[in-house]
Structure 1
Amino acid sequence: MTGLPHYAAMLATAGALPSDDLGWAYEVKFDGIRAIGYIDDKLRLVSRNDKNITAAWPEIAQIAPADPRFVVDGEIVAFSADGRSSFEALQPRMHQRNPAKIRALAEHIPVTYMIFDLLHIGDRSLIDLPYRQRRELLEQLGLDGPHWHVPPRLHGTGTELLAESKKLGLEGIVCKRLDSPYLPGRRSPLWTKVKNVLDQEVVIVGWRPGTGRRAGHIGSLLMAVHDSSGKLTYIGNVGTGFTQGILDELRTKLQPLQRKTPTVDADVRDAVWLEPRVVGEVSFAEWTGDGRLRHPSWRGFRPDKAPRDVRRE
């Protein structure tokens, strides 16, 4: 595959619903893995942190070949029995690179590439066109296959759609200005995500040993994010949301990253400090006044996110 330019993903800003529905489009916020798709004679999928992840998702490969060639933006999702996208369901597949195991997992945990933007077609970049026009061109491609789909447009006011998404147990909605260009690699309020559930990407900077039934295992993970100046800042620890399998995986992944000194300012006793290289995601109730997460719960690893990009939502 040659000739298709590289595009970094445009990122949404967390915020509130627009004050006026005029000029905005609304989409479901899917709970999956963001990926830019380059479709020519073959498919190439690139994660948000610029890693080639094509091999992990072989069922999407049938979207190629394409003439004319094109570049799209979307989310790789796994759907639960009730039709909701499930980030937890993706976890067994996110790290797997063994072809035989990938094929076996694909049979039990199939995914769908939900495509929501068209960035390039043929020899023409479309990123300077308004979202409204890119969406129309995307729909004309007719991308509806066994493992890829263009989600339908949502109709109604932002308030109505957010309420309906909460009723259905969805993560939330994304609000996009109809006149917005595509801004590669930039986080912009032209795209605003409004969530029903609070979640936060975190850098794992250490752990505390477990007690009781967790003796000899990880008890809780120490979390950090980068502040506005780029400094890694401690935001508390998470000790719930783990299965025994997750705890075993955490120990295997984190043990080689041990270091003697902390990378954050934190008054934590008995901590095992780590190189800040692993990113995860937690859900939580709220931010406290001193910048900690209240009642966090582990959701899973985020290998598609680079530690340097983790900021407070």
Structure 2
Amino acid sequence: MTGLPRYAPMLAMAGALPDDDSRWDYEVKFDGIRAVGYAGQRLRLLSRNGKDITAAWPELADLAPAEPPYVVDGEIVTFDTGGRTSFEALQPRMHQRHPSTIRELAKSVPAVYMIFDLLHVGDRPLLGLPYRQRRELLEQLDLRGPHWQVPPRLRGSGTNVLAASEKLGLEGIICKRIDSPYLPGRRSSLWTKVKNVRDREVVIVGWRPGAGRRAGSIGSLLMAVHDETGELVYIGNVGTGFTRRSLDDLWARLQPLRRPEPAVEARIPDATWVEPELVGEVSYTEWTGDGRLRHPSWRGLRFDRSPGEVTRDPRS
């Protein structure tokens, strides 16, 4: 990363489709791990919360060396047999740091870096350029390889693009104003995410015991988010969407985090409480009137998020 400035990724706001298609381009919303890539003599990848995740993705190393050096933004994804991105398939790779295991996983669960923005080339920052111009410059770099690509911009009617994404079983789309600058570390409506399904990050604050086939394990996880004052508030429990492997992994990670009292205001007699250090992602249907998630389903841990980032967005 020598000589290249460090940039925090720009974030999209949840919202509705724009009412003026001529001012917007559309992209697929990929279901993966956000990563800013720094390609110079070597490649460095930093997650959304600034962690160096380069070692976990050796199949991307050949993006470097690069002359001139550059900084790009994108999403690391894996694909299922139907050609859709699979967040579940990423789970075993997100926290793995043992070199031999990483190499084996790179063969059995290969990743692709979907590069959608160009932030810097040589000694020139591009943040102030309009989105469309940055994209044109990115496309001129011709970054096509076995494990990286520049996905197409989707022009035309946002309604049609969103409908097509739903038909294909995709998570949704990102709407980007063609004149928008890149705003590092900021969440802006200049980038609007429109989803076919609802999902959100949650902080794990405890678990309830399982029964039947889950006896002696986790029955459900207890979830929380930060309110507008910064206080953690309980938003219910999630008991579906787990695999045996994910339950075993959660059990091992939660044991050392046990605490005698809850980190939230909640009375759940059979709960085991934990320090609010792990972030997960769930899908759900809606918020209830008493501030709970209705019909949540577990999607996986988010090692690229920190608990302090998890707030209740009223639009989510």
TM range (shorter): over 0.9
C-alpha deviation, 1:114, in angstroms: 0.2
C-alpha separation between the residues in 1 aligned to 2:232 and 2:188?
A: 23
C-alpha separation between the residues in 2 aligned to 1:127 and 1:154?
A: 22
Give the letter for the 1:130 counterpart: P
1:296 alignment counterpart: 296
1:155 aligns with 2:155: yes
2:180 alignment counterpart: 180
Q: Deviations over 1:207-258 (max 9, x none)?
A: 1111222111111100011122222111100001112211111110011001
1:92 aligns with 2:72: no
C-alpha separation between the residues in 1 aligned to 2:139 and 2:92?
A: 32
1:3 alignment counterpart: 3
- What is the SS of the residue equivalent to 1:276? coil
- What is the SS of the residue equivalent to 2:276? strand
C-alpha deviation, 1:138, in angstroms: 0.5
C-alpha deviation, 1:155, in angstroms: 2.4
**TM-score, normalization: structure 1?**
0.98
Q: How does 1:194-233 map to 2 (within 5 A)?
A: 194-233=194-233
Give the letter for the 1:103 counterpart: R
- What is the SS of the residue equivalent to 2:62? helix
2:133 alignment counterpart: 133
Greater Cα shift, 5-14 or 261-270: 261-270
- What is the SS of the residue equivalent to 1:245? helix
Give the letter for the 1:60 counterpart: L
- TM-align CA RMSD: 0.9
- What is the SS of the residue equivalent to 2:159? helix
C-alpha deviation, 1:132, in angstroms: 1.1
Q: How does 1:45-124 map to 2 (within 5 A)?
A: 45-124=45-124
Q: Deviations over 1:130-154 (max 9, x none)?
A: 1011111101100011101000111
Give the letter for the 1:112 counterpart: V
State the aligned residue count: 313
* Structure 1: stretches of 5+ with no match in the other structure: none
2:32 alignment counterpart: 32
C-alpha deviation, 1:83, in angstroms: 1.1
C-alpha separation between the residues in 1 aligned to 2:139 and 2:33?
A: 22
C-alpha separation between the residues in 2 aligned to 1:212 and 1:269?
A: 19
- What is the SS of the residue equivalent to 1:92? helix
C-alpha separation between the residues in 2 aligned to 1:20 and 1:227?
A: 33
C-alpha deviation, 1:129, in angstroms: 0.9
Give the letter for the 2:221 counterpart: L
C-alpha separation between the residues in 2 aligned to 1:119 and 1:229?
A: 34
Greater Cα shift, 54-63 or 257-266: 257-266
C-alpha separation between the residues in 2 aligned to 1:255 and 1:294?
A: 27
* Structure 2: stretches of 5+ with no match in the other structure: none
2:286 alignment counterpart: 286
Q: Which 4+ runs in 1 deviate beyond 2 A?
A: none
C-alpha deviation, 1:269, in angstroms: 1.8
